[in-house]
Structure 1
Amino acid sequence: TSDPKSGLIAYPAGGHMPCVRVWDVDGGQVAEVQSHKYGVSCVAFSTNSCYIVSVGYQHDMTVSVWDWRKGSIIASNKVSSRVFAVSFSQDSSYFVTAGNRHVKFWYLDASKERRVNSTVPLIGRSGLLGDHKNSVFSGVACGRGLMASSTYCITSSGLLCLFNSSRQLEAWVNLKTPSASCLVVGTNFIFCGCADGIIRVFSPSNLQYITTLHRPHRLGVDLTQSVKHGSLLPASPGVQYPDTLALTFDPTARHLTCVYNDHSVYVWDVKDVRNVRKLYSALYHSSCVWSVEVYPELSDVSQAVLPPSSFFTCSSDNTIRLWHADPPTGHGNLYSNDLLRILYVGENMQHLQADGEAAGADGKAGIRVLAISPDGQHLAAGDRCGNLRIFGLDFLDELVKIEAHDAEVLCLEFSPPSTGVRLLASASRDRLIHVFNLEKNYGLVQTLNDHSASITAVKFTGSESPEVRMVSCGADKSIYFQTAEQTAEGLSFSRSHHVVEKTTLYDMDLDSSRTHVTIACQDRNVRVYNVETGKLKKCLKGSSSDDGALLKVQMDPSGSFFATSCSDKNIAIFDYESGECVATLFGHSEIVTCMRFSQDCRHLITVAGDGCVFVWRLDSQMTSTMRRRWGLRLKAAPETCSHKQRETFITVPSSQIHQQQQQEEEEEEPELRTPARLDSAPDAQLLQTNGKLPMWFRKLVSLMFTVKLNICIVQLSQNTCSVHRSVCG
């Protein structure tokens, strides 16, 4: 709900510790109250902007009125029915709640008289429903202007009801629709939101019908057709539209904002209700969003088929959507400013779009995971039935379909160009990893069955080592390090290391050098392993709270920070070297299912089970740090390819060489183990020398006169020496 006078917005925040938050439209959060245990079903500002009323979920059954500036509840009471809507009267003396066989009037003036210095019982009187006592009232709105003493309700069966000042049901009218869910009242009009995208307009004085507004987009809309026609597509027989879910009206600008059940938003100009004009619209996913993938930055810009800052998302609504983090102006899309394309996958799309929640409830519908090839030409998508589809990004046409797995595909990964091979790995809940060859039209190369439970992540390392390596982790608490060998039959992966942890492993990502893998663990820690040796390097705290499990981890392109998501629905960003938490993000009402940093290091994109896609703007200092480190790494990359190591040599007496060699032979390197406690994990530190001379230094005497480049001769005393080294990459 919004307050036009103060420019404030109040909304119910679900998830862990549900509360009502008040935000300034020009700034941040200004107030917060937690008075409900299970969730907040509806919230409303008083007309004078002094109070906010909130109603809890059906298990909470509490209605509370609080002074949002002081953060204190002034009156509260219990309700015996499920409440769907609430509305304040024009003079703020009372408000009305509506729900399942429930219409009740709550009086603030009478409650104030009984107030001492604490919360007092809220006084309420039930509406006289007459013959409609068994109806479900889905919406309520108090009258305005000359009809300020009246109250209007709408039933889920499609009746518009009028209550007089004595709380009696005085009149009603049939909306001629299968169902209705919402209404909003102005001084001259009543707007009723109905099924199939219908919004009917009535007169507040006598409930006389006036007109019906334009419908929104058709279900299964093709955005490219909107560009050709240049206007909203006309209605045709058999076409379905999304149901109207919520309405709000700005009486000053005469703008009507509508939210539909496919999560789309429209703003209509209703200055002339018989000639309504669309001002704004946006289309979103209608169900759980499972994955997000950012389009890569290519060295040859001319080879890119999509604009920069593009990214894909997939959902249980069986759609793959192409977005733009920085929408270009004038791209000709009439339905959305930031949505570029919608790719419909599967059949019965109108049903899935009309009821996205039902689509994901059967456990089969929907696209589960996405991956984009490094050359930016192909998009791989795995669905919840185990099918693997390959799309060409030029036209988003389906090139290959493979019935790969017996259960939903959980992860996909293309091999990076540095490996010298073009492979695609898919892993599933059926405990199998399939490796496909892009050069042979995604023909199957090998199937790996090492895991004994669902596989949660798989990655190709792509380090400087000539071997092609692959790392996978899963719910069996195992990490498998695979190394590829070229055989007579072709490329074959075999196990090189196997690590078993004491906790479930939910997600995995590689650092910028692709030599270390970071794993999100159920115990809220992030463990970092060396890909070549399989040994634990360090263990970092991955959550800002002590509740829940760590579900996702994502490194930024430069390797400076990593982001994590926890089952408490919050997101945290940590410094990769120090393990310090630098930011905490919240806003999703369900668990975060995937995260990606943008290629320009300016945004973090998150998707969740609430069907929302959030694009977070990162702090400018974080962006500067990532770009600086990433730029240094990219500049060093060509030299890394041509030189394995670049060092600066010095000379010292040969007696010290033999002495250092003897010390190194007597000492053994201790084995790293998973710490039992987080505080026992090794601290992340900068590279330091250990006082011993490196291996190359022992051979210096024989090579001293043959080395011609990168030699610095330092005059040293008999007992002192210093070592200088510069490492590339």
Structure 2
Amino acid sequence: MIAYAAGSTVVLITKNNGQFHFVNNSKNNITCITFSTNGKYLATGEFGNCPMVRVWEICKDGTFQGQQIAELKYHTLGVLCVKFTHDSTQLISVGIQHDKSVAVWDWRGQKKIAENRLTSQVNAMDISEDGNCFVTVGVRHVKFWMLNGKEKALSGRSAILAEQRNNTFLDICCAPGNRAFALTDTKLLIVNTFELTGEIPYSITLGPLNHLLIGFSNGHVRAINTETIEVQQLPGIPHYLHHDISTASGHETFYQEGINAVKSNERFPDVKALLYHQKSKTLTVLYSDRSIYQWLLTDSFGQSLLIGYRNHVGAILDLEMVPKNLPWLPAGTFMTSGVDATIRFWSLEKPNENVNSILTSNILSPELKKVLFLSPDEKLLSDHADNHSGMIFSDPLDSTTGARCLKLSPDGRHLAAGFRDGNLGVFDITTDKFEQLISVEAHDGEMLCIEYADPQKTDGHTMLASGGRDRLIHLYDAENGYQHLATVEDHSSSVNSIKFIPTSSGFEMFTCATDKLVVIRRVTNSSNGISLERINQFSSPSGLNYLTTAPDGSLIGACQDRQLRTYTINGKMNKQIKGTLCEEGTLTKLALDPSGTYAATVCSDRYVYVIDISTGECAA
């Protein structure tokens, strides 16, 4: 079983590729995870306000639990690493750089047994093979701590580092025979001292047959014999950074692509962490592009790929669903865009032979089917640890890259993307080439919303509207190469949402912005071109972040004061209900179920709320 952290959620992947998850009780990011030796419990450390060490029960009587059973409070700023002792009776936690604390816990009794202060930034920790001590390593720091369970003050002894005393130690691995092996950022493996030539080492773990496994930059893993210090390169490498996952139809093609990529000096993601499971001979590797691979190792260190998972690097900005079966994409396919300047196509459904799809299965990821790369910049496709702590990654939320909003055309042929630099792109998704049809410099600032007018609901034209941070709204003719039709300047602040509502004569276009104003214009096509007549406007008590239509024809807005407000199309407010359970933050997005009974709201407090619109009660 693999566990990894995604924000304040722990995701568990079982050996048969099933998934479970549980959510942290606080809004803090989870920074570290460890399993107990018997695999029944899992401990997490977190970063943020009042960080806790939490212990969860995973399974009970063979069924998934995900229940928190212990909450340990001591660290004040954040927890960098946690580890169960070999008998799982105690838990060790180390604080982040400015927290400067280490503690040993009786986690069942929820009490601290021992503690001490740290003077240096710590990057990693491991427990000795006999379980009598543990080792912390960091900036000019290697220290051995005695685990006897009796002393209130945790006793520690610094290693004698001699000429290596000014090094930064990145990772530590304890091996049989009371030996510890450490990696430095100057490419050294500290045994006595052994220089690692080539790439920078990042992670170390105990492998098979008295070997250490070390993960390096550019995707390499090497095995080092702890007796002879003989180095052996493992043959398996991951995908290169701009690799199209849809081409990995079989192992032979994937391995050949890797060989060709090495020859052409393509860049591969760095190995950020690795773990070896002795019983199943499985090597699990986390790479800097947030992908996870599992390899089966043979006794001669041959590798065969078991499964992989490919994820966005950084924040996901928007998601768009395919609502019905199309001749090229099945229903349930969805597209996501992220700050890594990619658009990714996913499907959680099992392949159906009776449904056509241009998306094919691959050997690397069960769900991810296709990746569109929107930028040649390789830096966007790799995670970079921040300067404060080696293991806490910072999302480039303030970047200007990536598609901020996605919209599928009414006929399902085109996918429109509004970019953070203000450009508009439209892709043909009816063929496996996913050709970009147009690229338009539309807005001076970030594009915040795009919307198609559906001609099937009237006898009108297919139009595309875009709104941005520059307060402008542009309209394009989707049936004639997305020619520019008109520009509207109705708002005094960022345009957050656009909706087309069909009428007998064409469409009415509703636009809302953070200036609290909803403006209604009648859109009609004629032989002389497009007409945009302003027919009404109304004001909301708070800025609107999103606007959608209910099945009964009314409008529902997600507001910055966390309220859901329902309006008639003439602007009269019918109802106001609370869209969250929190007292802070703002609603950012809203979706209705097909019957219009429930609203799913996304709040900046990181929760999704399901609200009963008629009563205002939170259903989930």
Q: TM-score range by the shorter chain?
A: 0.7 to 0.9
5+ residue gaps in structure 1? 115-119, 163-170, 584-729
Is the contact made by 2:72 and 2:111 (CA closer than 8 Å) also made in structure 1?
Answer: no
Alignment of 1:332-347 (within 5 A): 332-347=361-376
Deviations 1:598-644 (A, max 9, x none): xxxxxxxxxxxxxxxxxxxxxxxxxxxxxxxxxxxxxxxxxxxxxxx
1:175 aligned to which of 196, 215, 234: 196
Shift of 1:216: 0.7
- Give 1:593's aligned residue: none
Residue matched to 1:124: 156
- The one-letter code matched in structure 2 to 1:185 is L
Query: Per-residue CA shift, 1:533-564, capped at 9, x if unaligned?
Result: 11212111122222333322222233222222
Tell me how far apart the structure 2 counterparts of residues 237 and 282 of structure 1 sit (CA, whole Å).
25
CA offsets, 1:234-293, max 9 Å, x none? 232311100000111111111110000001101111132431111111111112211110
Structure 2 counterpart of 1:353, one-letter code: L
Between the aligned partners of 1:557 and 1:155, the Cα distance in structure 2 is: 56
1:261/1:355 contact within 8 Å kept: yes
Give the deviation of 1:355 after TM superposition. 4.7
Quick check: 1:482–1:494 contact (8 Å CA) kept in 2? yes
In 1: Cα distance, 2:288 partner to 2:424 partner? 29
Other-structure match for 1:310: 333
The answer to whether the 8 A contact 1:31-1:71 is kept is no
Structure 1 window deviating more from structure 2 (549-558 vs 149-158): it is 549-558
CA contact (8 A) 2:37 2:88 kept: no
- Describe how 1:404-415 pairs up with structure 2 within 5 A: 404-415=442-453
Higher RCO (Cα < 8 Å, 6 or more apart): 1
Q: What is aligned with 1:156?
A: 185
Contact 2:459 2:506 in 1 (8 A): no
1:5 paired residue number: 38
SS at match of 1:27: strand
| Distance in 1 of aligned mates of 2:115 and 2:604 | 31
Larger Rg: 1
The correspondence of residues 428-467 of structure 1 with structure 2, limited to 5 A, is: 428-462=468-502
1:30 and 2:63 aligned: no
Aligned residue number for residue 602 of structure 1 = none
Amino-acid identity (%): 33
User: 2: distance between equivalents of 1:17 and 1:519?
Assistant: 34
> Is the 2:37–2:84 contact (alpha carbons within 8 Å) kept by the matching residues of 1?
no
2:276 equivalent in structure 1: 249
Cα distance in 1 for residues equivalent to 2:365 and 2:411: 28
Q: Does 1:365 align with 2:401?
A: yes
1:31 touches 1:68 (CA, 8 Å); kept in 2? no
Structure 2 distance, partners of 1:522, 1:481, is 21
Matched, 1:324 2:347: yes
- Code of the residue aligned with 2:348 in structure 1: it is A
1:656 paired residue number = none
2:319–2:334 CA contact under 8 A, matched in 1: yes
TM-score by length of 2: 0.84
Matches of 1:565 and 1:443 in 2, distance apart? 34
Of 417, 424, 427, the residue aligned with 1:391 is: 427
* Displacement of 1:62: 2.9
Q: What letter is aligned with 1:336?
A: S
1:712 aligned partner: none
CA distance in 1, matches of 2:321, 2:253: 29
- How does 1:495-514 map onto structure 2 within 5 Å? 495-513=534-552
Residues 15 and 569, structure 1, Cα contact 8 Å, conserved in 2: no
> Partners of 2:112 and 2:605 in 1: how far apart?
26
Aligned ranges for residues 195-234 of structure 1 at < 5 Å?
Answer: 195-227=217-249, 230-232=253-255, 233=257, 234=259
- TM-score normalised by L of structure 1: 0.72
Q: Report the counterpart of residue 703 of structure 1 in structure 2.
A: none
Q: How many residues align?
A: 557
Aligned AA (1:304): P
Instruction: Give secondary structure in 2 for the equivalent of 1:461.
Output: strand
Alpha-carbon deviations, 1:187-241, whole Å to 9, x = none? 6221111100011111223533233342111111122332275332223231110
Is residue 224–residue 231 contact of structure 2 (8 Å, CA) maintained in 1?
yes
Question: 1:268 and 1:505, CA in 2 relative to 1: closer, same or farther beyond 3 A?
Answer: same
Which residue in the other structure is 2:560 paired with?
A: 522
State the distance in 1 between where 2:543 and 2:70 align.
Answer: 35
Q: Tell me what 2:583 maps to.
A: 546
Equivalent residue letter for 1:85: A
1:573-616 superposed Cα distances (whole Å, 9 cap, x missing partner):
22222211122xxxxxxxxxxxxxxxxxxxxxxxxxxxxxxxxx
**Contact preservation (8 Å) 2:210, 2:226:** yes
- The separation in 2 between residues aligned to 1:567 and 1:209, in whole angstroms, is 49
Q: Secondary structure at the match of 2:511?
A: strand
1:390 positional shift: 0.7
> What is the rounded CA distance, in whole Å, between the counterparts of 2:125 and 2:559 in structure 1?
43
The secondary structure found in structure 1 opposite 2:229 is coil
Which amino acid letter does the alignment assign opposite residue 183 of structure 1? I
Q: Kindly provide the CA deviation profile for residues 101-148 of structure 1, in whole angstroms up to 9, marking residues without a partner as x.
A: 222222231xx323xxxxx4433322222212221111112224xx2x
Superposed CA offset, 1:699-723 (max 9, x none)? xxxxxxxxxxxxxxxxxxxxxxxxx
Q: Answer yes or no: is 1:286 the counterpart of 2:313.
A: yes
Structure 1 residue 341: Cα displacement: 0.6
Which has the larger displacement, 258-267 or 417-426?
A: 417-426
Structure having the higher helix fraction is 1
| Alpha-carbon distance between aligned partners in 2 of 1:84 and 1:327, rounded to the nearest angstrom | 41
How far apart in 1 are the matches of 2:424 and 2:171?
44
Task: Return the alpha-carbon distance in structure 2 between the equivalents of residues 66 and 211 of structure 1.
Answer: 39
Q: Which structure has the highest strand share of the two?
A: 2
Alpha-carbon distance change, 3 to 205 in structure 1, aligned in 2, over 3 angstroms = farther
**Residues 45 and 518 of structure 1: CA distance in aligned 2, closer, same or farther (over 3 Å):** farther
Paired amino acid for 1:133? R
Distance (whole Å) between structure 1 residues aligned to residue 556 and residue 474 of structure 2: 22
Partner secondary structure for residue 28 of structure 1: strand
| Residues in 2 aligned to 1:472 and 1:73: alpha-carbon distance in whole angstroms | 57
| Aligned equivalent of 1:617 | none
- Higher mean Cα deviation, 191-200 or 57-66? 57-66
Separation in structure 2 between the aligned mates of residue 478 and residue 17 of structure 1, nearest angstrom: 39
Equivalent position to 1:378, from 408, 414, 419:
414
CA spacing shift, 1:524–1:358, aligned 2, 3 Å: closer
Pair 377,2 (structure 1): closer, same or farther in 2 beyond 3 Å: same
Is residue 454–residue 475 contact of structure 1 (8 Å, CA) maintained in 2? yes
**How far apart, CA to CA, are the structure 1 residues paired with 2:72 and 2:497?**
37
Stretches of structure 2 that go unaligned for 5 or more consecutive residues are 1-33, 354-359, 385-392
Aligned to 2:522: 483
